[in-house]
Each structure stands twice: as C-alpha cells, then as structure tokens.
Amino acid sequence: MTAMESLEAGAGRLGLKLSAKQLEQFHIYWEELVEWNRCVNLTGITGYQEVQTKHFLDSLTVCLVWPPSRANAVLRIIDVGTGAGIPGVPLKILFPEIRLVLLEATEKKAAFLRHISDRLGLADVEVVTGRAEDVARQGRYRESFDIVVSRAVAPLVTLAELALPFCVVGGSFIAQKKGDLVSEISRAERAIIRLGGRLREVRTVDLEEFSDERQLVVIDKELATPELYPRRPGIPSKRPLS
C-alpha cells in the first residue's frame, strides 16, 4: 500500500505526527473518493498527490487555530456543506475522539459520507442531509457545537448566517478561505456581530504546498444568535445581511 508521503510530510510541518493507521485511513479515503467520483460528482481533484495536499493537508491546517484540548470535554464539531467530507473527515481521522456532524444538502454526497464513515470505522459521526438554513432551526443542532468548520461553501457574509447559529456561545466558527479577503471580511463585519459573533483572527496558512494565500478566519460566538437567523433556504445567499 502506498503511504501518503506528501500528506505525512506536510502534516509534519504543521507539527502533526500521523500514525500508520491514520495514513492508511487517508489512503482508503482517497481510493473511495476516486471510485465514487465516477458516479457521483464529489470533487474535481482526484490525483494521488493533489488529493493529499489540496484536500487532506488543507483540512488539517484547521489545527493551527484549534482550541487547546480540554480535559474531560469531548468537542462537538459540525462541518457545514462538507461535500465529500472536507474538512470534517480528515479532522475526524486526526482527532478520533471528536463528535462530528457532517452536514450536506445533496443526498448523493451524503450517501458517500455514510459509506466512508463505515469504511474507515469512524465512531461518533452523524451524517445529516439537509440545508443549513433548515437544520440550524432544529433544537438538536442549534447552538450545539463547540466548533463549526466550513470550506468553499459561500462568501463570508452568507456563511456567517449559515454557520454561526450552530455554534454554542463560547465556541468558534473556523472558515477556510483563500485569496484576497479584505473586502469579503468588510462586507461580513456587521452580519457577524448581528449573528452574535466576533472576528477573532485571520491566520495565514504558511505551507510551501499552497501558493494561493490560504487563510483561516476565526469567529468567536459571544452572544446567542437571534431567532430570526438563519433566514429561509436561499435567502442568506440571495439577500446577504447588512
């Protein structure tokens, strides 16, 4: 079996040591992704090297702003618009103890997520098929997560409305972004506050694998999100706040 060398090396530069079991899980994940991608449109990236860096290593960069581990506290994480499981599944492989919800609107992608969770033997993973606008209104999920993660789903102003309602007061939302963020952040500033958030930091990911200014936007949840949000499906993107 090939060993995911590029991922292992990149993770090492993030200060992470992946075990043989974890590297094998990533390898199986890649194989299944390629296999399922023939029938389900999961990703445009399928090459062995590219998947290691652009999907797996990129997911693990979220660790750069991960909260320090708290004794006796099992972190609850939701990945909003996870697609083929990015970044949620790599984070679960890295931190097997987290309780993870993978939220995805498309049923076919959700079927893959159920398959891959089984195939990798991941415990405490729940796949929820639905739109964030609806699911965030269900008591079981609203303000129930210590960390909300999301990559490549929407501009920050829209994403804040989809993600912050899931976040418990005292928790954080981590958005993976790339490119020039200045105007995207300024457009989202007022919405973030209205939703109960506060921008804590924008961390640049400084790895040789990435030349496209990948950044992590960290928003702390300071106050409960008003009941009004998120608005009906489609509205957060059609009529962004502020």
Please return the burial class of 184, using the count of CB atoms within 10 Å of its CB with bins 0-12, 13-18 and 19+: middle
- Minimum distance of ligand SAH from residue 111's CB (angstroms): 12
Q: Considering the rule CB under 6 A, would residue 113 count as an interface residue with ligand SAH?
A: no
Q: Widest CA span of the chain, in angstroms? A: 52
Nearer to ligand SAH (CB atom), residue 107 or residue 222: 107
Residue closer to ligand SAH (CB basis): 100 or 162? 162
Contact track, ligand SAH, 156-175, x by CB under 6 A = ------x-------------
Minimal distance, residue 153 CB to ligand SAH, in Å? 5
**Contacting residue, 92, 109, 177, 221, with ligand SAH by CB under 6 A:** 109
Comparing every residue's Cβ against ligand SAH, the nearest one is 83
Question: Distance between CA 56 and CA 43 in Å, rounded?
Answer: 13
Could you say which DSSP state residue 225 is in? Answer: P
Q: How far apart are CA 116 and CA 119, in angstroms?
A: 5
List the interface residues with ligand SAH, window 117-156 (CB under 6 A). Answer: 131-133, 151-153
Identify which range of 25-33, 99-107, 116-124, 186-194 contacts ligand SAH by CB under 6 A: 99-107
Q: Which of 111, 107, 103, 6 is nearest to 53 (CA)?
A: 6
Contact region for ligand SAH (CB under 6 A) — 7-15, 27-35, 77-85, 209-217? 77-85
The residue type at 40: V
Proportion of the chain in helix, strand, coil states, percent, rounded to 5: 40, 20, 40
Radius of gyration for the alpha carbons in the chain, expressed in angstroms and rounded: 17
Q: Is 209 in the site for ligand SAH (CB under 6 A)?
A: no
State the residues that interact with ligand SAH by CB under 6 A. Answer: 81-83, 86, 103-106, 109, 131-133, 151-153, 162
